[in-house]
Structure 1
Amino acid sequence: MMKRVVITGLGAITPIGKNVTHYWKNLLNGISGANKISRFDSTNFKTQFACEIKEYDVLDYFGRKEARKLDRYSQYGLISTEEAIKDAKLEFSTLNSNRIGVIFSSGIGGFETFENEVIEYTKNDFNPRFNPFFIPKIIANGLSGMISIKYGLRGVNYTPVTACASSTQSIIQAFNYIRLEKADIIITGGSEAPITQASIGGFNAMKAMSTNNTNYITASKPFDTNRDGFVVGEGAGTLIIESLDSALKRNANIYAEIIGGGETSDAYHITGTHPEGLGAYLAMENGIKEAKITPKDIDYINAHATSTGLGDLSEIKAIEKLFQSNINNIQISATKSMTGHLLGATGAIEAIATCLSVNKDLIPPTINTTKIDENIPNELNLSLGTKSYKKINYALSNSFGFGGHCSALILKKYVG
């Protein structure tokens, strides 16, 4: 019999809150994290705004010497992980570190470091005097290793990289390791710091991002007929997950139970989702089957819903097909309308939001959406405008990434 797996700690640093308490409060209050880019002069870019972390000073968290060794994405991940460890009340000295692992993602890794080093290289007549920390700072698995080293954890340690599905797949893999008894506790989640010149310019070249520079506060508007692309965000989310046996032994606070995860491929296009949402449908279906429940049991869906034309519709088609006659009983919300799209970290912060929804029977709203796309059925409950209260026994969180990667995480209200 496989082990039951529960969530016992949460940590987050996001564009709408630098810890879980503030993040959750602002989600419920429908606060937008969008602002003019402050990191660099964006005047000549088609998109001049993003969802940045507000009033961030690295020296509030790290010493000057340590900060120089860390790319921004690693800083965010270490900050959210420390919060989650404290929240879970983990005392590593009393636990078997050989049975504690780290599965932690980033879609891009140290993009800011890479960009800055290359710019300096070209400025200095192409003289190859790179920072000795250049490579350790940019590799996507560097953060996972740093977490393991910092806390002396010798269990499984690796980094799934599947673009915007990355951190949801990290959580699913962590879930599998624990239920198969290969680990007792795993620190999992994702971090991303993609607000750089190359990132903004690259996504603009793909015509993937909103260019609504005059009304950027409302630019992320999933499902809206006037949506024109996603709004990029930054930050990190960390979850402490462990076997129920371990949690009970520690007398830990349990937020929710993980009961399933689906991982599939669209097998369609390197950047676009399948028009009929085939991969999304299979991911949700597989996760629900693994959880040993039916589509009728799902009460809430935290949608991937990035505010792109094709992406939003393909996900809705997949949901319609899977849930059919029960679709009127399900609430759907798109929290990217507030946080923006954190790429490889988005699944982690949305898993945290979904976990708290299950725990507290509260659903964050979808904001900014005023005119629903005519291709989306009117009977769907998209949680527009304000938070809502609903008994949530089972919830689903979707994440999809470039390359056709599809993942769906299934959470259950914990019952002893």
Structure 2
Amino acid sequence: MPIVREFTLPDLGEGLTGAEVVRWLVEVGEVIAVDQPVVEVETAKAVVEVPCPYGGVVTARFGEEGEERLVGQPLVTVAVSPEPGTDVPDPQPERPLVGYGVAEGGKGARRRRLGATAVAASAAAAPAVAPAVAPAVVAAPAVVPVISPLVRKLAREHAVDLGSLTGSGPDGLIMRADVNRAIETAAVPVAAPAVPSSPDSVPLRGLRRTVAEKLTRSHHEIPAATCWVDADATELLAIRAQMNQADAPKVSLLALLARICVAALARYPELNTSVDLDANGAPAAIRRHPAVHLGFAAQSDRGLVVPVVRDAQQLTTEQLGAELGRLTAAARSGSLTPAELTGGTFTLNNYGVFGVDGSTPILNHPEAAMLGVGRIIAKPWVHEGRLAVRQVTQLSFTFDHRVCDGGTAGGFLRFVADCLERPGMLLRQV
């Protein structure tokens, strides 16, 4: 006889106590495998998929999309059928959410729908052990004859209720054409309301809310200043072209900029710092960080994130490039862990990829400095006493004026510009 197991939201780590349900990956009545992701949640640090340690039939889901769930609250219940002669496993051990990603039984895993008899049997077993949180439980619905996950995805994206459709396929199977007809019917224009509608209000949640809080705190707490300089990057681009002629992984421009930042921070360590406050919120001490944990701005579907390269001072340029590439790919796929988004000591912002020349960014609290690099474009430039067309970029440097004065900030920025213009200077730092 199946035994129903309750899977609760695991310990999230990084001091996080809850998460918002973004998207359910399974349906009630669906057969799942051990460690198959069942729900996608958004914490204050990242969006992650949560795998369930039980295999069996999903008998209930807890929490609607957009609802906050706390650590220890139930996510799903699963009817587990023990093998003959074996003991039923104990309830799931507590384990942190940090590092959860797509397992082998993830989004691409085959999912099977039970027949009506099996669903009825599993649903009948559920009430005896299901938790008494009736309002939050999603009851087992009647079996909707849909096999294709693409049809389910299309219906979910256009808010089509599959239970309201009559399938045109064999045995009433709902086909893609049925969903498309429902979408077209819903898209028929209606008369505009007589009274103008109120503006949409988008709540700040999860990662977006955390970013907003950090930027607000940085703006109010840190007396920031910014200085600029134009630099001739022609020689740096030439050096990169030479490096990439070798039969080895290509070196990105971002990796070279990261190497320059590490070298500059070795010369100006007072910029790899943060300010500690006393009980009254007043500056009390400047904390110097022994390691360079280099954050860099990366664009994702959910907005701007700042992944962190740990101990960047210990990595070669090639290793820096590999780690930057890995974190960038994770940002685009939404699989960054909370640990990969925290603990930075200095940020590199290559906003030139957006086609802009300059910026005065807000510091990434509690860091004390940020280097911005604009687009590299051909400009007229005086080179060796003659006018020439050179590849020029604008560098901007924003810093916390509590940790240094303009002389230190200017020295840092000038050193960075010199390394761009004469990359051979980096050899003195290797």
**What is the TM-score with the length of structure 1 in the denominator?**
0.23
Higher relative contact order (CA 8 A, sep 6+): 1
Looking at secondary structure, tell me which structure has more helix per residue. Answer: 1
Larger Rg: 2
Looking at secondary structure, tell me which structure has more strand per residue. Answer: 2
